[in-house]
Chains A and B, each alone.
Chain A
Amino acid sequence: MIKPSSLSISSQNNTLSLAFAGELSLLQLAPYEKRLSALSSIDCERVVLDLKDLDFIDTAAALYLEKLQKGFRAKGLSVSLEGVCSAVEQTLLLVQNVKKASHEQISPKQKSFLEKTGEYVVDRVAGLNSFFSFLGVIFSTKFHSLKSLRSLRLKEIAFEINETAIKALLIVFVTSFLMGVVVSYQSAYQLKLYGANIFIVDMLGLSILRELSPLITAIVIAGRSGSAFAAQIGAMKITEELDAMRTMGFDPYVFLVIPRILALMIVMPLLIFVSDVAALFGGMIIANIDLGISVELFLDRFADVIALKHFVVGVVKGPFFAFLIATIGIYRGMMVQNDTQSIGFNTTRSVVESIFAVIVCDAVFSIAFTNLGI
């Protein structure tokens, strides 16, 4: 049990007397700190810390008493301790000695704004450089060494296809279906105003096949598989599994990196196709309910107005998005340092960066395809 402590403040004859009593410990310090710091105007010359009823102090309390004395001395008052018992004195001495030993503390130099900005920019440029050198390694040595099918890790690729695509089918389907429903519902309201109900087919067909499905699939896969790549490879780095592979002569690029990239590049177009189907299916249902367009009419019109090229444009983006998602995820995994916090940090970064990269890539495609008249 902690014995309560108390503090009584009295002042007479130019002397301020602070009498501590009981057991003074860390948990009881805060009220005294407040009370004494509120004691702003001291119109006396001497301060007496009366400790004769103080039975015990811990190191925090000793540090506080030390600080208190220093504060009074700084104001030009004379301070004295009275009635210090041996247990208390021991703790006070301990604190004084340790403080003396670590007297010359080197406080870290404050960096100026310019210095911080400079460091930030240099870090960013170095980060970008290291990503490009990672890409360079993949292209120059690894894809090059895949000339023969023998060196392809088919088993690993198959495993990754199952992990990244087959298991993601449901979430891609549901997300895309809901997106189709929402887009169709919003457009139906506008189209009804003009009585242009049938044009829902043109709208949905173009927007979903060309843009929405590839993007939504890429976003789902970046969140699901890109982050998984970063976390898996990051964890393998921390447990030294990557090093173990290297010492056994298994190149992590061949065993881990290339299979993941290839697997994702193979399955992305298929996932986009699934997403197309799901989104159009959702749109079709809303068109039927909200605009009274029958399934036959929808499909007839779809065949008339939506050229195959729109589908192809969407699907062709797949492997590019997949490459970006996989390389950024794996690169982030490789960047993991030897602490657990950096797994979380790099996983988050992998998702943010890969979604950003996918959207930039999509914009480039959009401009290119438009200019090419596709």
Chain B
Amino acid sequence: MERIIKVTNLKTRLEGRLIHNRLNLSVAKGEIYGLLGPSGCGKTTLLREMVMLQEVHSGDIEILGYPLSSITKSQAQMLRQQWGVLFQYGALFSSLSVYENIALPLQEYTDLSEAMIDEIVKFKIDIVGLKPQDAALYPSQISGGMKKKAALARALAMDPKLLFLDEPTSGLDPISAREFDALILKLRSLLGLTIVMVSHDLKSIYATLDRMAVIDDKKIVYEGTLEGIENAQSEFINTFFKGRHE
């Protein structure tokens, strides 16, 4: 199986505090991989390290064959065009409309004609389940759920192979959250994406994840499928998955 992401012996320190101690995990092509753990365990930090927003202290992360510790500027720039990132609150550019947000990477990185870009943007708007008339709206004019969909459309603009999602269903009402889960599954099967997501939402975890890593007390306490979690032991797994306290 092809490994899209490989994390080896990763150590992270934030302001002198050790966050990760020798993490090892790998994500295979085409799977939906979850990063789970109690709040403050550094899931989002790990995600930020994967997308090169934060520096790695020691150890290495390899993404699509590029080791991030020795990546050159131009390689990094190429890598950034091959992934999409969905931030927790969307992080749409507030000075641009939904349409312009999605069109921006296409205008910057390709020499496509306006008409072609228009085609692509409309397709992306459609595929995430937004209405064509939403395209002209600005981020301040749309709801939280629509923001996430628009941000997802922007993340998909460059037809990435790899998608990072930071708590995709947090802040959504249950119905929108389930819709979003379905959307993620649909996109995976349509576009053959590999998806890495941080999540707290049990329903979403059961509905979407193929495999996952559970981070607790600075280490990976479990990596594997949902079925195997029954045999894993950790305080977080016990309370979160099995509903047992202490």
Name B91's contact: one of A240, A249, A250 (CB within 8 Å). A240
How would residues 87 to 121 of chain B score, 1 for a CB under 8 Å from any chain A CB and 0 otherwise? 11101111000000000110011000000000000
A250 adjacent to B108 (CB under 8 Å):
yes
B89 near A240 with CB under 8 A, answer: yes
B8 at interface, CB cutoff 8 A: no
Chain A residue nearest in CB terms to B48: A243
Q: Which stretch from B76-84, B179-187, B203-211, B227-235 is at the chain A interface? A: B76-84
B51 contacts the other chain (Cβ, under 8 Å)? Answer: yes
Contact in complex: B93, A241 (CB < 8 Å): yes
> Counting CB contacts under 8 A, is B85 at the interface?
yes
The reply to whether the CB of B52 lies closer than 8 angstroms to some CB of chain A is yes
Asked if A102 CB lies within 8 Å of chain B CBs, one says no
B94 and A244 within 8 A (CB): no
**In this assembly, does B53 line the interface, its C-beta being within 8 Å of a C-beta of chain A?**
yes
A245 (CB) vs chain B CBs: closest residue: B93
Cβ-defined contact, B80 with A247, below 8 A: yes
Q: Please state if B89 and A239 are interface contacts (CB–CB under 8 Å).
A: yes
Which residues does chain B contribute within 8 Å of A236, judged by CB atoms? 94
Does B88 contact A240, Cβ atoms closer than 8 Å? yes
A229 to chain B, nearest CB (A): 14
Q: Establish whether residues B108 and A246, one from each chain, have CB atoms under 8 Å apart when the complex forms.
A: no
- The interface residues of chain B lying within 8 Å CB-to-CB of A235 are 94
Known: A239-B91, A250-B108. A244 touches B80 (CB 8 A): no
Question: B202: shortest Cβ distance to chain A, in Å?
Answer: 25
In chain A, positions 224-250 with a C-beta closer than 8 Å to chain B are 235-236, 239-241, 243-250
Docked Cα-Cα span, A248 to B77, in Å, equals 8
The answer to whether residues A249 and B89 also contact, given A239-B94, A241-B94, A243-B53 and a CB cut-off of 8 A, is no
- For A244, give the chain B residue with the smallest CB separation: B91
- Contact-residue size bin, chain B (C-beta under 8 Å from the other chain): 20 to 34
A228 → chain B closest CB, angstroms? 13
A247 touches B83 (CB 8 A): yes
Q: A240-B87, A241-B91 are in contact. Are A246 and B105 (CB under 8 A)?
A: no
Chain B residues within an 8 Å CB radius of A243: 48, 53, 87, 91
- Verify B87–A244 contact, CB threshold 8 A: yes
Verify B52–A247 contact, CB threshold 8 A.
Answer: yes
Instruction: Give the distance to chain A from B138, nearest Cβ to Cβ, in Å.
Output: 13
Asked whether, in the complex, the Cβ of A246 is within 8 Å of the Cβ of B52, the reply is: yes
User: Which B residues are CB-close (under 8 A) to A245?
Assistant: 93
Contacting pair A247 B93 (CB below 8 A): no
Chain B residues with CB below 8 A from A239, complex form: 89, 91, 94
**Most A C-beta atoms less than 10 A away, residue of B53, B76, B83, B105:** B53
| C-alpha spacing A326/B164, complex, angstroms | 34
Partner of A244, one of B76, B85, B109: B85
Q: How far is the CA of A249 from the CA of B77 in the complex (A)?
A: 6
User: How far is A228 from B138 in the complex, measured between Cα atoms in Å?
Assistant: 20
- Decide: A246 near B53, CB < 8 A? Known: A239-B89, A240-B87, A240-B89: yes
**Which A residues are CB-close (under 8 A) to B88?**
240
* Residues of B13-27 contacting chain A, CB below 8 A: none
User: CA of A367 to CA of B164 in the docked complex: distance in angstroms?
Assistant: 56
B24 to chain A, nearest CB (A): 24
Nearest-neighbour CB distance to chain A for B238, whole angstroms, equals 23
Please encode chain A, from 302 to 315, with 1 for each CB lying within 8 Å of some chain B CB and 0 for all others: 00000000000000
**B209 to A: closest C-beta gap in Å:** 22
Q: What residues of chain A lie closer than 8 Å to B81, measured between beta carbons?
A: 249
What A residues does B48 contact at CB under 8 A? 243
A247 to B88, CA, bound (A): 14
CA distance A246 to B109 in the complex (A): 14
Nearest residue (CB) in A for B78 is: A249
- Give the nearest-CB partner of B81 in chain A: A249
Q: Which of A307-334 contact B (CB under 8 A)?
A: none
CB under 8 Å from chain B, chain A span 242-267: 243-250
CA distance A250 to B83 in the complex (A): 13
Chain B positions 24-49 with a Cβ under 8 Å from a chain A Cβ: 48
Name the residue on B nearest A242 (C-beta).
B91
A57 to chain B, nearest CB (A): 32
**B106-149 near A? 1/0 per residue, CB < 8 Å:** 00110000000000000000000000000000000000000000
Q: A244 near B89 (CB under 8 angstroms)?
A: no
**What is the CA–CA distance of A244 and B93 in the complex, to the nearest angstrom?**
9
Q: Are A247 and B77 in contact (CB under 8 A)?
A: no
* Highest count of chain A CB atoms <10 Å: which of B48, B89, B93, B109: B93
A250 to B87, CA, bound (A): 16
Are A248 and B105 in contact, CB atoms less than 8 angstroms apart? Answer: yes
* Least CB distance, B211 to chain A, in whole angstroms: 23
Binding site for A on B (CB under 8 A): 48, 51-53, 76-77, 80-81, 83, 85, 87-89, 91-94, 104-105, 108-109, 164
Beyond the given A239-B91, A240-B91, A241-B91, could you list 4 further A-B residue pairs with CB under 8 A, ordered by the A residue number? Answer: A241-B94, A249-B77, A249-B81, A249-B109
Q: List 28 A-B contacts (CB under 8 A).
A: A235-B94, A239-B91, A239-B94, A240-B87, A240-B88, A240-B89, A241-B91, A241-B93, A241-B94, A243-B53, A243-B87, A243-B91, A244-B85, A244-B87, A244-B91, A244-B93, A246-B52, A246-B53, A247-B52, A247-B53, A247-B80, A247-B83, A248-B80, A248-B104, A248-B105, A249-B76, A249-B77, A250-B108
Closest 8 CB pairs of A and B: A249-B80, A240-B91, A244-B91, A247-B85, A240-B87, A247-B51, A249-B77, A241-B91
Q: Which residues of A contact B (CB under 8 A)?
A: 235-236, 239-241, 243-250
